[in-house]
Each structure stands twice: as structure tokens, then as C-alpha cells.
């Protein structure tokens, strides 16, 4: 499997000619490593409804025909924006993509889409983390979560090969809580995400990776555009 970090919390997974992208915030992302117009994907998976995660979902889905998997509220909202193929699911559920499966797990933070011209925020359901199982690999995208105790349960119930964990602080966990999260989730490898995009979330990802190593967990820092082969 090829894993590509595209900046902020956006990652792409590719294997055997199929691909999915998670939280495709590219347009307006100063660190984005791709243009939304260049993205090809069979599925778009969304952790929650904030603009820096929904991102270019509508334009990519309309252009490619990609199916969008999200919470029911967010799926309905995107359908109203013209996305033809959406699947709404909820925490604890698993959906078969045909080549992989995705399970929704807990995340703790807020979720809503800001309509600035209307001065209105649309509530878009509970935030989530996503566990993708594909070709014998288990990959967790933790979303924008803060630290919570049930991460221990998630780690006990799933043999996680790779986890994308936010470290930016301010809107998510900071490095200290993210280190504890990694200990509880027990992944074989961690890639930090959701940092450096904006001034409030600037962090030293290399220091975090070093701290993971001291705990016996492999930490891998990917610059936007860099790939990892599993």
C-alpha cells in the first residue's frame, strides 16, 4: 500500500489500482501538496464536518464520481450540495467499500460547517475517527480528537499498523496528549498530522517522533507530498 500525506489532515491510500482519500482539504491549505483538480479517488472518507476537513469534497466527488462516506448528517448536507453518491454511517458501524472496510470510532471535539455569508453554522453530527482495513493492514485516522480514555479500548480491540494522530494543540491534542494517545492506541507506527498549517498549531513534529521512539513506537514525520510504503 502507498500512503501519501497531502498536508494538514489529508491522506491518500492506494493499492492495486484503487484509492481513497481522507479529509481532502487542499484549496486554501497553504501547505497542500496537491491540487483538488488532480485528485483521483474511488472513495472520499470524512471524519467530521469542519471546513478544513470537508475541504474539496464536493468538487472532487462531482468530477470523479467518488462515493463519499461520512456521518448521516454530513452525508445529507453534501447531497444538498450536489454530491450524487453518499453513504451515511455512524460510530461503531462498518461499511464495505468493496476493496476495503471502514469503521467509525469515537473522537471528541466539535463538528459543524460555517456558512459565512449567512452567518450560520450547520451542525453535522458527531465527530469520528476512521479505521480502514485493507489488504491485511489496519490504519487509523484519529480525526481532530482530544485525548479520551476509550482510546485504550480501541487499541485493545484493533491491531493498528499505522495511526494518523493530530498534534497541533489548540484545536486538537497537543504533543503531550498525543503521546499518551499513541501509548493507548498501540499502533506499530504513527504519522503526526494537523500541525503547522496555521500559526496556532505550529509544532515540532520531529520532537514528537523522537518522544514516540522513546516509548518504543515508531514515529514517522511526512512532509506534505511525501509517501510511505506499507
Strands across the sheet with 101-106, in order? 94-96, 101-106, 128-134, 137-141, 162-166, 189-193, 218-219
pLDDT of residue 20: 98
What value does the mean pLDDT take over residues 217-228?
98
pLDDT of residue 208: 98
Kindly compute the dihedral angle of the four CA atoms of residues 14, 19, 24, 27, in this order, to the nearest 10 degrees: 90
Under a CB-based contact definition with an 8 Å cutoff, are residues 128 and 107 in contact? Answer: yes
pLDDT of residue 151: 98
Under a CB-based contact definition with an 8 Å cutoff, are residues 142 and 167 in contact? Answer: no
pLDDT digits (tens, 9 = 90+) for 129-175: 999 999 999 999 999 999 999 999 999 999 999 999 999 999 999 99
Q: Can you tell me the distance from the alpha carbon of 31 to that of 13, in angstroms, rounded to the nearest whole number?
A: 19
Q: Where are the domains of the chain?
A: 2-221
Instruction: Confirm or reject CATH 3.30.565.10 for domain 2-221, answering yes or no.
Output: no
Task: Count CA atoms within 13 Å of residue 34 on its CB side.
Answer: 22
* pTM exceeds 0.85: yes
Report the phi/psi class of residue 152: left, alpha or beta, with left for phi > 0 and alpha for psi in -120 to 50. alpha
Under a CB-based contact definition with an 8 Å cutoff, are residues 219 and 212 in contact? Answer: yes
Amino acid at each position: 500500500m502507498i500512503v501519501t500525506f497531502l498536508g494538514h489532515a489529508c491522506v491518500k491510500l492506494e493499492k492495486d489500482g484503487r484509492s481513497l482519500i481522507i479529509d481532502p482539504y487542499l484549496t486554501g491549505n497553504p501547505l497542500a501538496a496537491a491540487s483538488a483538480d488532480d485528485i483521483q479517488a474511488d472513495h472520499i472518507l470524512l471524519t467530521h464536518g469542519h471546513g478544513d476537513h470537508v475541504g474539496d469534497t464536493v468538487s472532487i466527488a462531482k468530477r470523479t464520481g467518488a462515493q463519499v462516506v461520512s456521518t448521516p448528517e454530513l452525508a445529507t448536507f453534501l447531497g444538498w450540495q450536489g454530491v450524487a453518491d453518499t453513504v451515511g454511517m455512524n460510530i461503531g458501524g462498518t461499511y464495505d467499500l468493496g476493496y476495503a472496510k471502514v469503521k467509525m470510532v469515537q473522537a471528541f471535539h466539535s463538528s459543524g460547517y460555517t456558512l459565512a455569508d449567512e452567518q450560520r453554522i450547520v451542525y453535522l453530527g458527531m465527530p469520528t475517527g476512521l479505521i480502514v482495513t485493507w489488504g491485511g493492514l489496519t490504519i487509523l485516522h484519529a480525526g481532530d480528537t482530544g485525548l479520551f480514555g476509550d482510546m485504550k479500548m480501541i487499541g485493545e480491540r484493533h491491531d493498528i499498523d499505522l495511526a494518523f494522530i493530530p498534534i497541533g494543540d489548540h484545536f486538537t491534542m497537543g504533543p503531550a496528549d498525543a503521546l499518551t494517545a499513541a501509548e493507548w492506541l498501540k499502533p506499530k507506527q504513527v504519522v503526526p498530522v494537523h500541525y503547522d498549517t496555521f500559526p496556532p498549531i505550529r509544532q515540532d513534529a520531529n520532537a514528537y517522533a523522537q518522544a514516540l521512539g522513546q516509548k518504543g513506537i515508531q514515529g514517522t514525520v511526512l512532509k506534505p507530498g511525501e509517501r510511505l510504503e506499507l
